[in-house]
Chain A
Amino acid sequence: MKPVLPWLEVAFFALLIFITDSFTIPLPKKAFISVSFTIIFATILLFGPWAATIASVITVFNLSDIKHKIPRYKMVFSACNYVVSAFAAGHIYTLTGGTTGRIVASDFPFIIIPLAVSCTIFFITNTSLIALAVAILYGESAINTWRYDFQWLIPNYYALGVLGFILAQIYTSTGPASIILLVVPILIAWQTFGVYMKLKGAYVDTVSALVQALEAKDPYTRGHSERVAQYAGMIAHELKLPDDRAEILRYAALLHDIGKIGIARKVLNKPGRLTNDEFKRIKKHPEIGAGIIGDIDFLESAIPAVFYHHEHLNGTGYARGLSGERIPLLARILTVADSFDAMTSTRSYRPSLSPQEAAAELVACSGSQFDGGIVRAFVNTLNISLEDRHFETGEIQLKIAIEDPA
């Protein structure tokens, strides 16, 4: 026999779900997130799985979706997603021994198990269904989408879960008014977080726009960073780097020469030999670049790649003279991509090499300057694209080069 639900209270929580769900933040890929999980979770804890499942139906009306003219089928999908997730998380909660209503001190510490399990199940169900939908709609890999858009959310989700637990506790001891008082600051914090995400995107946009503008002035380097990013992306794909690492690599590639911004053009483009002093200044650019992006928390993991992108495998490079495996992987990738583009574009002091010649040069220098594994991966992907463009001699030359590493 099922006890009758307190309909009025469930309706109140459904209203709160509706409000919180209408404040969404766009994620880097196609997904949107909101804090409605907090309320749904509190509903599970207070009134059980069925109440939460029924209350989640209200998410089919989503003000932000209506405003942004999101197609109807997507709205229905996300509502169904919430319903399924609430159903699964709610039942897991009661199955693992969670009690609904007021939680008293004697429930601790065992209540933590159902709480944690339920939170996890909700997260997994909800995000993997979204990732799957994005994968089907836009033809991307579901696992990659999940890693890229949702993996970093895990701690946030547990924080929201704890918040939901607190909300339920406050509700049982002090009633509905205090819940409204709690939801207001949470929503404001959420909106602020949304602006923060936007500025984060703007930051990378701005800095790479400046780098590109700087390069555009100079026929020798026009589009250099953009191309290096493209080559680095190809290598990352071939090496099956996870999407989040590949994204950091992209930032690092776009910004790797930002440290050159302060070096006089005359020095950078000097035909002929540089003086010792001039060379010393150029050698500083990885360090300057790492310093410029060093202030930004989300670019922190890109710093090593920028800092070490002129190291050689045998330890003869700059800025620190690291060798072998001690050079970070992303930096080793960046070196290969950077050198390839430098060789294939004309510089003031020498004409350009053909892609075939440049690839052969990369292979020739594997082991001393470059990481052989990365070069092999790069040449593999290049080979394909060279064939696509019907380079007649490319294939043979490359094959010889690979079979006979100098």
Chain B
Amino acid sequence: MQSKIRRKVILLHTIVILLGLGIFAYSLPGFPAVSLAVIGLFAAAVTSSRLLDIQLPQGGRLNIDTAVILASILLFPLPDTLVITILGMFASMLIRQVKLKFAATLYPLSLKIITVFISTNIFYALGGKPGKIEPLLGIISLLLLCGVYSVIDLGFDQLTIAVNRGTRYMRGLVSSVRFLGPIYLSLSSLGILLSIMYKGMGYWGMLLFFLPLMVTRISFKSFLDIRKIYRKTIEALSNAIEAQNSNRSGHGKRVANYSVDIAKEIGVRGRELELIGYAALLHDIGMLGVDEDSLDHLLEQVSAQSGEAPHALIGAEVVEQVDFLRDAADMVRTHHYPIDRLKRPDDIPLGARIINVASRFDKLTKTDMLDERLTAYQAVSRIKKEQGMRFDPKVVRALITTLRKQGKLMEYVK
């Protein structure tokens, strides 16, 4: 498994680097069309905007150099843009003191070269010309340039992640386009703006341009930061609460991980996925502060018939107090409901059905009594026996698929 991924990574790197270098050599004739001072200025702008990149929650970084690179595509011929991009990126690597290993340095540079090359050529094919910006008449070529550039840029990022981690490509791309679409739209507008400002105002335009760029960056970054802190704090608190009962330690976080994986497998995205994650993290919050002795007592009260559990009701009350998590409260309340309780399983929120399965799986595989602890395979077969009554078969199937993908079921399947 690991070696397979490694081979894929090496293959990808080789292809990309060869392609990038080839394109660069092919495009270079004609350089330089503008003065070296201008090229240096734009490269410096690429460098400084790259140094202002933002760490993304799902891994990777968001570079705001998109605006500057788009502007130089619009202003200068292709060879100059390529040199600007490469110089700027390389300088930012030097400043960051990244270890300049051969492949690790050339790979991102080559990806950028390919991105710039393809989107610029599409722009030219649609009648766009560098140095001649018509925001109203040439709107289609401008839109396509920005759109194609953004999608390729995001697509390459996702490709790298997908190959390195062995995850699904298209799904990652769709969610990253949804999540980062608005900021790329901002950066694209700013790129066109910079080209117009530079043409009309010269160096002043360049200087003034950095204010709106910074405004965009600050608002996006503070949004990401507070999201991260929010999740981290809830995790930390739920951990601290669970720490009081040794056999529950880490249960919430593990169930959250399983639930998010299952939900992704079923095709849940965006806000609902986020809510399922929070609901799973907090699903047993109603038990918090209960001592071990009385905890068992509470657990016994979970009626197999109705699925009503006091801790679920209390937990839902807690979660309900938070406006932002209101829709998660229902999932917490119904997370022990057996699906045959109602005629249609859809009457129980999907999140609740997922948490039900994930929590059961975690309890079977991570229980404190060693002689009762099951392997993943045994746990899945036990859960399967109850599907259709207690558990939603669709969710159980998704659990099996995710476990298999992560290699956790492999060794038991003969």
| B216 sits at the interface (CB 8 A) | yes
- Name A188's contact: one of B183, B289, B322 (CB within 8 Å): B183
| B323 sits at the interface (CB 8 A) | yes
| A113 sits at the interface (CB 8 A) | no
Bound together, the chains give a CA A296 to CA B228 distance in angstroms of 10
Question: Interface size class for chain B?
Answer: 35 or more
Q: Which residues of B contact A205 (CB under 8 A)?
A: 321-324
Interface residues of B in 226-267 (CB under 8 A from A): 226-227, 229-230, 232-234, 236-237, 240-241, 243-244
The answer on a CB contact under 8 Å between B219 and A196 is: yes
Query: Shortest Cβ distance from A348 into chain B, in angstroms?
Result: 13
| B197 sits at the interface (CB 8 A) | yes
The answer on a CB contact under 8 Å between B240 and A262 is: yes
The answer on a CB contact under 8 Å between A192 and B182 is: yes
- Name A174's contact: one of B189, B201, B211, B236 (CB within 8 Å): B201
The answer on a CB contact under 8 Å between A163 and B212 is: yes
Known: A205-B323, A209-B319. A189 touches B215 (CB 8 A): yes
- Name A182's contact: one of B189, B223, B319 (CB within 8 Å): B189
Query: Shortest Cβ distance from B200 into chain A, in angstroms?
Result: 4
Q: Which residues of A contact B241 (CB under 8 A)?
A: 210, 214, 261-262
The answer on a CB contact under 8 Å between A185 and B223 is: no
Q: Which residues of A contact B185 (CB under 8 A)?
A: 184-185, 188
Q: Which residues of A contact B219 (CB under 8 A)?
A: 189-190, 192-193, 196
Spot the interface stretch: A118-126, A165-173, A242-250, A337-345: A165-173
| B163 sits at the interface (CB 8 A) | no
| A234 sits at the interface (CB 8 A) | no
- Name B288's contact: one of A174, A217, A264 (CB within 8 Å): A217
| A143 sits at the interface (CB 8 A) | no
Q: Which residues of A contact B236 (CB under 8 A)?
A: 292
Known: A159-B215, A163-B212, A181-B193. A202 touches B322 (CB 8 A): yes
Known: A170-B197, A188-B185. A201 touches B243 (CB 8 A): no
> What 6 A-B pairs come out closest when comparing CB atoms?
A202-B324, A177-B135, A185-B186, A217-B289, A174-B200, A262-B240
Q: Give residues in B with beta carbon < 8 Å to A.
A: 135-136, 182-183, 185-187, 189-190, 192-193, 196-197, 199-201, 205, 208, 211-212, 215-216, 218-220, 222-223, 225-227, 229-230, 232-234, 236-237, 240-241, 243-244, 285-286, 288-291, 314-315, 317-319, 321-325
Can you list 18 A-B pairs with a CB-CB distance of less than 8 A? A163-B211, A166-B208, A166-B211, A170-B200, A180-B135, A181-B135, A188-B186, A189-B186, A196-B223, A198-B324, A199-B223, A199-B227, A209-B318, A213-B315, A214-B241, A265-B244, A292-B233, A296-B226
